[in-house]
Structure 1
Amino acid sequence: MTTARTDATLRELATTALQGDRVVHLQRVVSHYRVPRPPRRRRPRPAVLPHGGRRPKPPFGIRVRDRLIDFLLWFLHPFDSLGELILMPFRALFWLCRSKEKRRRDKGLNGGWDSAAGGLAIAVHVWSGCVLAVGERLVGLVYVGEREAELAWTVPREEVAGVELADWDTHDEQQATLRWHFRDGSWCDVQARDAGWKSLVDALPVR
């Protein structure tokens, strides 16, 4: 399948998921490491993605190794907790000494899970298959499977305050950290994959 055919198919699936809203921009995205993991009860289980959007199960040997590591971490947890208690005052002091801009940059999610940004952070927490679709009326996160798509999250386009390039992170033509700002004051970092993210930033400047 050619790239043009793939893009056309993807656009058609996204348009269907957005209930016919004409899609003007598509961007493949993944969750950003600065965004905390959502509570287990809120994590998505998309039907259109393999393994329900979860990471594929590794081979048996890898699973055994991971179990042993988990046991070791569990055994050492009390000592780790004691160390955290000792270091907590120093970390709090370090946090207060950082500039306001530095604290803003390090905060991948602002506004909580019930905010517009929180909804995006929850929806993008899958292994693969996420596409942000910007329509004329709506902005949505779409899970794209082999033959169908599933709308995971959506807001009216006017609720998006803009998209900011996190230029303090490494970026190039194929990937960048994009901070999505919303009218309720919340924001969420996502990792954009593939070319095209620059036009998205230009189309939705932060106001």
Structure 2
Amino acid sequence: MDQADFVRDTVERARAAVPAGEVLRADHGLGLAVRAPSPGYFRRPRVLLSERRALGGWLLMPFAWLLRLLTATLNPIERLVEAFTEREKKQGKPFRGGWNSMAGHLARGLVPRTKNLANPALVVMQVTDRRLQIVYVSRVRTFTGQPGPVEAGWATDIRNVAWIRDRRDVVGGDHEIGFVDGSWCSVHFSGKGWSGVSDVFPVRLSHLDPVPHPA
């Protein structure tokens, strides 16, 4: 299976998480934009807990526990780093709002933690007639060769999504998604076919349009 087929298969598998009775309008692989700030380890959601840990994951377990211990020990330092991040946001970095804002929850959901460190979850964004949600797709297959689990993650009512801004002037596939609470974050649509995803959003902006301010 080549890369294009792999991406298409991932997106199709994620459709199992579309809630019954809702109409899927767009879906695509999604991640944080490279230029966006990344949430700390313990802010990231734990996902795909039913997934079996592959051999590589077992081998990496000691390093994972060491990382957790080190991160817990350095939690005050993480707060200090976050304070600097907040300062950077005010200076025009590609993120607005705290980690508990709508954009913050979206950003946190795009960098999940999994048991299987050797095969991190694939993330797909879905837009239905009622919600925007992110879905996690396991890379791992079961012992019988069947695909691993698919799990719905953070979601919000589609009415909470205020606008989307195309930032192909920075990187092709980069977009900023804004919410009614005034927060927004920069994401990256991976692979081909991303140019039509923004068509399903209520307000579409180009990089020449200013970021809207909440009323």
Q: TM-score range by the shorter chain?
A: 0.5 to 0.7
Deviation for aligned residue 1:31: 1.9
Question: 1:19 maps to what in 2?
Answer: 19
Question: 1:82 maps to what in 2?
Answer: none
**Residues in 2 aligned to 1:5 and 1:42: alpha-carbon distance in whole angstroms:** 29
Deviation for aligned residue 1:8: 7.2
**Residues in 2 aligned to 1:25 and 1:116: alpha-carbon distance in whole angstroms:** 20
Task: Tell whether the 8 Å contact from 1:48 to 1:148 is kept in structure 2 after alignment.
Answer: no
Pair 1:187 & 2:184 matched: yes
Question: 1:119 maps to what in 2?
Answer: 105
Percentage of pairs with the same residue: 25
Distance 1:129 1:9, change over 3 A: closer
- RMSD between superposed Cα atoms in Å: 3.7
Task: Tell whether the 8 Å contact from 1:23 to 1:135 is kept in structure 2 after alignment.
Answer: yes
Decide which structure has the larger Cα Rg and report it: 1
**Residues in 1 aligned to 2:38 and 2:6: alpha-carbon distance in whole angstroms:** 35
Q: How does 1:150-189 map to 2 (within 5 A)?
A: 150-171=151-172, 176-189=173-186
Q: For residue 154 of structure 1, what is the amino acid of its counterpart?
A: A
Residue 119 of structure 1: SS of its match in structure 2? helix
**Residues in 2 aligned to 1:114 and 1:179: alpha-carbon distance in whole angstroms:** 17
**Residues in 2 aligned to 1:142 and 1:201: alpha-carbon distance in whole angstroms:** 18
What count of residue pairs does the alignment treat as equivalent?
162
**Residues in 2 aligned to 1:48 and 1:31: alpha-carbon distance in whole angstroms:** 22
From the two aligned structures, give the one with the greater helix fraction.
1
Task: Tell whether the 8 Å contact from 2:14 to 2:124 is kept in structure 1 after alignment.
Answer: no
Question: Which ranges of structure 1 fall in alignment gaps of 5 or more residues?
Answer: 64-91
Q: TM-score, normalised by structure 1?
A: 0.63
Q: TM-score, normalised by structure 2?
A: 0.61
**Residues in 1 aligned to 2:31 and 2:192: alpha-carbon distance in whole angstroms:** 14
**Residues in 2 aligned to 1:168 and 1:132: alpha-carbon distance in whole angstroms:** 22
